[in-house]
Amino acid sequence: MSKRLIRIGAVDVPARLNELSGQDLHVVLRSGHTHLGQLLTYSPYTLTIRDSRGHRHVIPVAEMEEVIYDKKSSY
């Protein structure tokens, strides 16, 4: 089974929240740092994710570069 990386620019995240719910997300910051976790909440100013250790990360939207997640391919 193959996967495909889906990259969403920070400005497009609000319009695509439904597809991000329940996904393991890689949130890439403008500084180059990356956070991995599942989406908990989103507001116009912050994105909150929970990582694999159960820690919550509140990420300012202004610092986000893009969000990346894996999607299973249909072939």
For the whole model, what pTM was predicted? 0.84
Position 56: which residue type?
A: R
- Architecture per CATH, domain 3-72, reads as Roll (2.30)
Task: Give the model's pLDDT for residue 75.
Answer: 63
Task: Give the model's pLDDT for residue 71.
Answer: 83
> In angstroms, rounded to a whole number, what is the distance separating the alpha carbons of residues 17 and 2?
23
Paired sense of beta strands 34-42 and 56-60, if any:
unpaired
Partner residues linked to 71 by β-bridges? 4
pLDDT in tens, the chain (75 residues): 577 899 999 999 988 888 888 889 999 999 999 999 999 999 888 999 999 999 999 999 999 999 999 987 766
Task: Give the model's pLDDT for residue 3.
Answer: 78
